[in-house]
Amino acid sequence: MLHVAEAARVSVATVSALINGTATVSPELTQRIEQAIRDIGYKRNAIARSLKMGTTRTIGLTVPHITNPFFTDVVSVIQQAFDRAGYAVMLCCTDEDLNTQDEQIRLLLDRMVDGLIVARVGDGGILKGIVEQADVPVVLLDRVCEGVDTDTVVLDNRSAVFDAITYLANLGHRRIAYITGSFDISPMHDRMEGYRDALQAAGLAVEDELVRFGNFHEVDGYNATMQLLSLRDRPTAIFSANNPMVIGTMKAIRDIGLRCPEDISVACFDDFLPWAAAFQPQLTTVAQPVQAIGEQAANLLLDRLAGNREAPPRKLMLKGRLMIRNSCHPLGAIARSVSA
């Protein structure tokens, strides 16, 4: 900074006032200082300035799968919101690994982020401790964490799956299979609850052999579908708890020589429109309000950063929407009445 002051023929205090915005500097002096900065290639010390100002204007964001279209879109919305507010976003992908998540959150805190948005994985015990020790506001995204008392934005997952399974049951399906992820995270627990409740409401039994577990990847959906289709009394419909796994489901149906929806109906959670519409047949899906989820998460954190630290934690629960396309086919008497 001294070199800039000497080149511009002003005091160090004047240079500091302009760079840090702590005082008004005349247009003439501003022009001389900015020219001196360009001439000597001076770069602001962001860390030193952050220590002085008490903010880095940086947000930490962790998601489990950046390749999942849902999280890809949510990240984009959040990034745009913070860009408009003058914040940078540091993004970390945990790949559903608990140790990776905890290491990344600690790394973000070491980088002195002003706040965190976390789509958590696994057991919340360690995350609870980290959040309690961190002197920054935290917003949980997509997934609640037992014992962590902080702002949260989630979907009403139970109702969303309840509506989808009820739709399949109303088409005449009686053996509806379900491919889910780990129950360690709240959306999978709530979606399974919606599946069970919908079957019971339709007077159908909840059969363990029709439920298969995966880890949210395409290969998991493929393997689970192969297992389901090898059953002596195979399902007539399959619901996948996320969209990467349903890609595996569709490939398995093709590889085994069956057709969708003529031989088996398929629906899934998450509606990445270009992807769902490009499938043949076009997939029936549960659409999450991605724009609203991302914007609400950003707004909650920005409100805390603006000084509203003492307000009670807020939990926003948004609604999904069933997008009916042509991957589901009516069965039995329902099919006959439709054709008639």
| Whether the predicted pLDDT of 62 surpasses 50 | yes
pLDDT digits (tens, 9 = 90+) for 209-233: 999 998 888 999 999 999 999 999 9
CATH number of 55-155+290-319: 3.40.50.2300
Predicted confidence at residue 171, as pLDDT, reads: 97
**DSSP per residue over 215-263, as a string?**
-SSHHHHHHHHHHHHTSTT--SEEEESSHHHHHHHHHHHHHTT--TTTT
Taking the C-alpha atoms of residue 97 and residue 328, their distance in angstroms, rounded to an integer, is 34
**Residue 83, C-beta contacts closer than 8 angstroms, at least 6 positions apart:** 89
Q: Which residue has the higher pLDDT, 275 or 169?
A: 169
* Banded model confidence at residue 125, pLDDT cuts 50, 70, 90: low
* Banded model confidence at residue 46, pLDDT cuts 50, 70, 90: low
Give the DSSP H or E segment for 315. Answer: strand 315-318
**What mean pLDDT, rounded, does the chain reach?**
87
| Whether the predicted pLDDT of 122 surpasses 90 | no
Predicted confidence at residue 50, as pLDDT, reads: 57
| Whether the predicted pLDDT of 51 surpasses 70 | no
For residue 20, list its beta bridge partners.
none
Q: Which residue has the higher pLDDT, 35 or 175?
A: 175
Q: Which residue has the higher pLDDT, 335 or 197?
A: 197
Domains 55-155+290-319 and 157-288+323-339 alike in fold: yes
Torsion angles phi and psi, residue 4, rounded to 5: -65, -45
Predicted confidence at residue 117, as pLDDT, reads: 96
**Residue 185, C-beta contacts closer than 8 angstroms, at least 6 positions apart:** 120, 121, 122, 143
| Whether the predicted pLDDT of 340 surpasses 50 | no
Domain boundaries, the chain: 2-44, 55-155+290-319, 157-288+323-339
* Of 101-105, 162-166, 168-172, 238-242, minimum mean pLDDT range: 101-105
| Whether the predicted pLDDT of 333 surpasses 70 | no
Predicted confidence at residue 339, as pLDDT, reads: 46
157-288+323-339, superfamily in CATH? Answer: Response regulator (3.40.50.2300)
Q: Half-sphere exposure of 272 toward its Cβ, with a 13 Å CA cutoff? A: 16
State how far the alpha carbon of 14 is from the alpha carbons of 1, 28, 31, 282, in Å. Answer: 10, 12, 12, 64
Q: Where are the alpha helices (DSSP H) in the chain?
A: 2-8, 12-20, 27-40, 46-53, 69-84, 98-110, 125-133, 157-170, 186-201, 218-229, 243-255, 273-278, 290-305, 332-339
Q: Which residue has the higher pLDDT, 276 or 192?
A: 192
pLDDT digits (tens, 9 = 90+) for 146-197: 777 889 999 999 999 999 999 999 999 999 999 998 777 888 899 999 999 9
Note every long-range contact of 299-304, with CB atoms under 8 Å and residues 24 or more positions apart, other chains counting.
Answer: 299/81, 300/139, 300/151, 300/153, 301/59, 301/115, 301/116, 301/117, 301/137, 301/139, 301/151, 302/81, 302/82, 302/85, 304/115, 304/137, 304/139, 304/151
Share of the chain above pLDDT 70, in %: 89
Taking the C-alpha atoms of residue 161 and residue 84, their distance in angstroms, rounded to an integer, is 35
| Whether the predicted pLDDT of 337 surpasses 60 | no
Taking the C-alpha atoms of residue 170 and residue 64, their distance in angstroms, rounded to an integer, is 34
Residue whose C-alpha is closest to residue 63's, from 139, 123, 112, 120: 120
Q: How many CB atoms lie within 10 A of CB 17?
A: 17
Residue whose C-alpha is closest to residue 155's, from 267, 70, 277, 273: 70
